[in-house]
Amino acid sequence: MTVQRNGTTPAAFGPADYFTGRVRIENGFKSSEPGNVQGALVIFEPGARSNWHTHPLGQTLIVASGVGWHQCEGGPVEEIRAGDVVQCNANHRHWHGASATVGMSHWAVQEALDGKVVEWMEPVTDEQYQPPVRD
């Protein structure tokens, strides 16, 4: 067993090629061989979001704080809150980020397939980044 101590891996800002707005990535981890799980805490400031993307083996998001939005292609924008767990299916286009007015953080956990965990695509437009429709 190993313990990765909090603060022992440097934080990084989410690259503008993959995110809109200010995003910080902290506490990245990767399992030892033969495992292929990796993840990180992703912190979105209000209005920040990921680009559209897919994961070859899917992704699990565990919302740690705040209020966010996520959308799977073809579906509605949905609100996510602290304590929610979001399952993103393998190879399904989606995006996620903070709401327009409240920041959000989540643990993103995914498995690698042939060393690859994500396929990044185009930015989410302002027209696509809209609050969820309430019933």
Residue 35's domain is classified under what CATH number?
2.60.120.10
Please give, one letter per residue, the 3-state secondary structure of 8-41.
Answer: CCCCEECCCCCEECCEEEEEEEECCCCCCEEEEE
Parent domain of 29: 12-114
Enter the pTM of the model: 0.93
Say if 5 falls within a structural domain. Answer: no
Question: Looking at the domain assignment, is residue 125 inside a domain?
Answer: no
Q: Report which of 38, 45, 79 is spatially closest to residue 59, judged by C-alpha positions.
A: 38
Total tally of structural domains belonging to the chain: 1
- pLDDT tens readout for residues 32-84: 888 899 999 999 999 999 999 999 999 999 999 999 999 999 999 999 999 99
